[in-house]
């Protein structure tokens, strides 16, 4: 199936939420795409700036994701997540990625608006979908804690001033949580959905229990980003396999079960969010 645009997938997923899952290894991408096919649900493969830095560049994994998406029988998009530089965004777009998130959330409000608006104009000139963040979501590089919240009026003003296509908001989640104990502010989600004229994005979703994710979608969240939860299950599957088979040396023997664990969890999330 041809590569699908993120805005189209958001509409396809309505009234449910669009599952967007971060890719760190090729096994992640294969498992996520396989889950989309088995559930007949749209999905987004996301590459973060941290993953790009880990691999020493974006091209190999991005091109693999683009190929997997194009060959999939499901509707799949590829998205650059948490990019903090124009250079990385430009490189991603040159490779064929048509959806990016510019993360200026560590900047003060005025500088975040200025930088985001400039990148949004550049993206729209190239028909690239752009997401941004307001109200820094905690958990990354010493960022703010769970108490940070996005103001609905400021969010609406930010979208108008920048021209972005989707907005990541702080409503109680936090990145890199290993426990699923975050409590979202559903009243705030509803007020943001009523105030903001573009789709809302939930980051840090791995720390939110199933009931909370379902409620977030019901109150207006449109794109749900999940990363850490998949990594936790992948690592656990590898650990179990190696503990049961301590003489294994072929990575395929332990990465295969890890890939299956990721696929099963993505399938579960896609059904939950539908």
pLDDT in tens, 59-91: 999 999 999 999 999 999 999 999 999 999 999
Q: Give me the pLDDT at residue 178, please.
A: 56
Of residues 109 and 63, more confidently modeled = 63
pLDDT(140) > 50 = no
How many Å apart are CA 196 and CA 63, to the nearest integer?
Answer: 33
Of residues 180 and 129, more confidently modeled = 129
Which residue shows structure tokens 């908001």?
169
pLDDT(142) > 50 = no
Mark residue 200 as left, alpha or beta (left: phi above 0; alpha: psi -120 to 50; beta: remaining): beta
| Res. 175 pLDDT band, cuts 50 70 90 | low
Rounded to a whole number of angstroms, the distance between the first and last alpha carbons of the chain is 21
The mean pLDDT of the chain is 92
- At residue 202, φ and ψ (nearest 5 deg) are -105, 115
pLDDT(27) > 50 = yes
Average pLDDT value for residue range 156-180? 82
Q: 3-state DSSP: the chain helix, strand, coil percent, rounded to 5?
A: 50, 15, 30
Alpha helix (H) residue ranges in 72-136: 86-95, 109-124
Average pLDDT value for residue range 224-251? 96
pLDDT(162) > 50 = yes
Assigned token pair, 29: 């991408």
Annotation says 141 is catalytic: no
- At residue 83, φ and ψ (nearest 5 deg) are -80, 135
**Would you list the domain boundaries of the chain?**
6-273
Average pLDDT value for residue range 195-210? 91
Q: Give me the pLDDT at residue 107, please.
A: 87
What CATH class is the domain 6-273?
alpha beta
Choosing from 8, 81, 125, 210, the catalytic residue is 81
Average pLDDT value for residue range 131-143? 58
Give the least confident one: 131-135, 155-159, 219-223, 231-235: 131-135
């Amino acid at each position: 199936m041809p590569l699908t645009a993120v805005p189209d997938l958001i509409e396809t997923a309505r009234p449910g939420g669009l599952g967007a899952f971060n890719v760190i290894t090729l096994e992640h991408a294969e498992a996520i795409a396989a889950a989309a096919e088995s559930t007949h649900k749209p999905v987004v493969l996301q590459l973060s700036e941290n993953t790009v830095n880990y691999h020493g560049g974006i091209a190999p994994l991005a091109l693999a994701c683009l190929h997997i998406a194009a060959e999939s029988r499901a509707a799949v998009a590829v998205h650059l997540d948490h990019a903090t530089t124009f250079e990385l965004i430009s490189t991603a777009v040159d490779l064929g990625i048509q959806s990016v998130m510019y993360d200026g959330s560590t900047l003060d409000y005025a500088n975040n608006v200025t930088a985001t608006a400039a990148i949004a104009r550049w993206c729209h000139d190239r028909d690239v979908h752009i997401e941004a963040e307001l109200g820094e979501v905690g958990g990354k590089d010493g960022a703010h804690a769970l108490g940070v919240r996005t103001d609905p009026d400021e969010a609406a003003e930010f979208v108008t001033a920048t021209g972005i296509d989707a907005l990541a908001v702080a409503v109680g989640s936090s990145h890199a949580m290993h426990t699923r104990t975050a409590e979202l502010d559903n009243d705030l989600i509803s007020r943001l959905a009523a105030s903001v004229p573009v789709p809302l994005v939930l980051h840090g979703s791995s720390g939110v229990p199933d009931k909370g994710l379902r409620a977030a979608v019901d109150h207006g969240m449109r794109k749900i980003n999940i990363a850490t939860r998949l990594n936790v299950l992948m690592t656990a599957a590898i650990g179990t396999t190696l503990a049961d088979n301590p003489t294994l040396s072929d990575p395929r023997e332990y990465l295969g079960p890890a890939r299956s664990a990721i696929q099963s969890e993505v399938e579960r999330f896609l059904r939950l969010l539908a």
